[in-house]
Structure 1
Amino acid sequence: MFGLFGKSIPVKVRSYSESRKHGVAAKDLKELLKKACKALQVPHSGAHVCLYSDGTKVTEEFFLTLPDHTELVLLSREQTWSGVVCDIGQLLKTDQHADGLIEAAKGLLSGERSPKRRKILTDLLQSLEDRSELESREEDEEWFRGVDARFKTKSGYMKFNCESRIRGYMKEVDDATKTIQKAKVRAEFLKTSKCLAEMLKTARYNGCYFDRTEKEPDRLCTKEGWFTCQGSFDQDVCQSLHSINPYGSRESRIIFSTWNLDHRIEKKRTIIPTLLEVLQNHRTTDVNLTYFYRLLFTRENLKLVHIVCHKKGAHNLLCDTKKIFRKASNTDKGNPKNKGKKRRLM
């Protein structure tokens, strides 16, 4: 309903320093200022109102076009308002304890309808709730809610989280055995799988990637726990600059579980099928298992990506045929059994 033909317009008005809103109905701007100044105890002389959303000053003509329940800010002569950023600015200027700031931010967010302002306030609230400097379960019990009691530190759990993902890749290699019909090939593939498992076990399943206590070359995050999206498989960097700190809050930890360790050269479509094809006509000892290990389980072929940057379509990248087989040693070359043997991918 609009303020035409003498009808009153219901609006919500708050003062510069308070977030509590008052419902006021008025036929024109003059009546609105009179009622609002009385309700909010603001001097009438020089008082004016602005849109809460962006600070636009409300004139008599503009007031008559306002939709019902528009949010306004009542200001005294010397006060100005630039929109929701003023609320955030005032909030950050206060000397409140972190818990007080969080409650204040939640108060601003409560009942907020504008998607853009909700996004700003949500991001601010997430920043205020960051507790990444804390490490143990005793220090930050909320972070560990839903996490098995055997984990006592955030780094320990994050390391386990990464190990679990890498173990899952190893399981997919093992499961490929079920697709092999020839007993001889299946036996060779089992040997290959066992060797890869031993290599992975020696590397402790590369859990260091998510552990912020590890050295910088080994971890994928900063020492504070910040991870940055590395972009989709066909890009050098993330165009959206996605980043997250799962050490900061329980919510961030859960959201991080949706990020992917994506294989550039694909695991199911390319790496495992290539390994199976090689073993059709070659032995495990002929294969460069180190190369396949790096493709399956290490940062040489893995990229940490935000779910938005994870392209699920075919990557169309192939294994390097020059690296698939082991280089023949002098002993191999002198062995009569190896003379004339072609090492090629069938």
Structure 2
Amino acid sequence: MFGLFQRSKPVKIRSFHENRKYGVAAKDLKELLKKGCKALQLPLSGAHVCLYSDGTKVTEEFFLTLPDHTELVLLSREQTWSGVVCDIGQLLNTDRHADGIIEAAQGLLSDEQSPKRRKILCDLLLNLDDRSELESREEDEEWFRGVDARFKTKSAYMKYNCESRIRGYMKEVDDASKTIQKAKVRTEFLKTSKYLAETLKTAKYNGCYFDRTEKEPDRLCTQQGWFTCQGSFDQDVCKSLHSINPYGSRESRIVFSTWNLDHRIEKKRTVIPALLEALQNHKTADVNLNYFYSLLFTRENLKLVHIVCHKKGAHNLLCEGKKIFRRATDTDKGNQAAKGKRRRMK
């Protein structure tokens, strides 16, 4: 008697090859298969149903427990379904033009409720909308929207982007002079700052790190423009395998601005204070300025990290004491050379 009064359950059903979903109401799995096969024009023999989300097979008992409007996939005898990855796999294996793939992915996303699957589809759409092979403003005007008109190529802007970050580090060094009380120490620090600024200018502010047209040892990206997160300061690699191509789209370019060039040995907490301390009782000539330059501005101490991998707490890493000052032999050689020069002038 219970079956006679059982309420029909409304569900959404689709086939293996179609994104379009049909609303079907059935009181049991048998009725669902019959109505679904008719709507999708599939043979009833061997037909079976599974959850769209993860591919779980729907049995008669399981069907009765499903919430209303559950999304299902109706399959023929030989077909299998393992969840939303099947949709993505079909999209990637299709022969359609990129615009067609994007349209199909957008169609899936428009009716998707699961946060995890929405994230997967959003990431897919972002990477599908890839115009990284285009370089000039004329070729990809959308990429340059909001970018100063003086930049004519993507590489030129990305190089400037990196230079700006490095210049910011130099400004922090200059600002540290305001904290120095002793005039003598301030004088030595200003000499140090001038040397670092000149060295940095000669290196063109290391803008090569973001410029894909630079040689491989100098750039942080592939020739196509892909950057990979190098992991937090205390890790050798990024366990999440974060990657991004800011050359691919305007959105990727903007998102890349949240990635950090992080100092392993911290700039404000450690490097600059160590430099100030070294100058308290020593002249600039005695300090290994090349070591401090490498810590402040080069890949020796900088790691490109996704914002999730950027740990803002104390790094607890110190400068190497034996590298802070120049070796005595280097100083002696410099003094001997200076003396020799003076003798020749006499």
- Contact 1:4-1:64 at 8 Å conserved across structures: no
The letter of the residue matching 2:201 is K
Confirm whether residue 328 of structure 1 aligns to residue 331 of structure 2.
yes
Query: What's the offset of the Cα at 1:11?
Result: 0.6
Query: What's the offset of the Cα at 1:84?
Result: 2.3
Q: Distance in 2 between matches of 1:295 and 1:82?
A: 49
Correspondence for 1:287: 287
Unaligned 5+ segments in structure 2 are 340-346
- Contact 1:265-1:315 at 8 Å conserved across structures: yes
- Contact 1:11-1:68 at 8 Å conserved across structures: yes
SS in 2 for 1:168: helix
The letter of the residue matching 1:328 is T
Correspondence for 1:162: 162
Confirm whether residue 181 of structure 1 aligns to residue 184 of structure 2.
no
SS in 1 for 2:19: coil
Correspondence for 2:96: 96
Change (3 A) 1:240 1:57: closer
Correspondence for 1:314: 314
Confirm whether residue 218 of structure 1 aligns to residue 221 of structure 2.
no
Query: What's the offset of the Cα at 1:215?
Result: 0.7
Confirm whether residue 190 of structure 1 aligns to residue 193 of structure 2.
no
Equivalent residue runs for 1:108-257 within 5 Å: 108-257=108-257
- Contact 1:162-1:209 at 8 Å conserved across structures: yes
Query: What's the offset of the Cα at 1:45?
Result: 4.8
Query: What's the offset of the Cα at 1:204?
Result: 0.4
Correspondence for 2:85: 85
Unaligned 5+ segments in structure 1 are 337-346
Q: Distance in 1 between matches of 2:77 and 2:32?
A: 16
Cα deviation 1:186-244 (Å, max 9, x = unaligned): 22222221121111111100000111110111111111112222222222222332222
Change (3 A) 1:234 1:51: closer
SS in 2 for 1:328: helix
SS in 2 for 1:272: helix
Q: Normalising by structure 2, what TM-score?
A: 0.88
Query: What's the offset of the Cα at 1:4?
Result: 10
Query: What's the offset of the Cα at 1:33?
Result: 3.0
Change (3 A) 1:239 1:13: closer
Query: What's the offset of the Cα at 1:139?
Result: 1.7
Cα deviation 1:137-165 (Å, max 9, x = unaligned): 22222222222221111111110111000
Q: Distance in 1 between matches of 2:19 and 2:333?
A: 81
Change (3 A) 1:180 1:78: closer
Q: Normalising by structure 1, what TM-score?
A: 0.88
Query: What's the offset of the Cα at 1:46?
Result: 4.6
Bigger fraction of residues in helix: 2
Change (3 A) 1:332 1:71: same
Q: Distance in 2 between matches of 1:4 and 1:186?
A: 93
The letter of the residue matching 1:329 is D
Q: Distance in 2 between matches of 1:209 and 1:296?
A: 14
Identity within the alignment, % = 85
- Contact 1:162-1:207 at 8 Å conserved across structures: yes
Q: Distance in 2 between matches of 1:49 and 1:154?
A: 49
Q: Which moved more, 1:147-156 or 1:324-333?
A: 324-333
Q: Distance in 1 between matches of 2:218 and 2:154?
A: 17
The letter of the residue matching 2:331 is A
Segments of 4+ moved more than 6 angstroms:
333-336
Correspondence for 1:342: none
The letter of the residue matching 2:103 is E
Change (3 A) 1:79 1:317: closer
The alignment covers a number of residue pairs equal to 334
Q: Which moved more, 1:11-20 or 1:210-219?
A: 11-20
- Contact 1:244-1:256 at 8 Å conserved across structures: yes
Equivalent residue runs for 1:3-82 within 5 Å: 6-82=6-82
Change (3 A) 1:285 1:41: same
Q: Distance in 2 between matches of 1:334 and 1:295?
A: 29
Query: What's the offset of the Cα at 1:93?
Result: 3.5
Cα deviation 1:21-59 (Å, max 9, x = unaligned): 122222222332333334334444554332222333333
Change (3 A) 1:66 1:135: same
Q: Distance in 2 between matches of 1:271 and 1:89?
A: 48
Query: What's the offset of the Cα at 1:335?
Result: 9.3
Change (3 A) 1:246 1:51: same
The letter of the residue matching 1:288 is N
Q: Distance in 2 between matches of 1:51 and 1:133?
A: 39
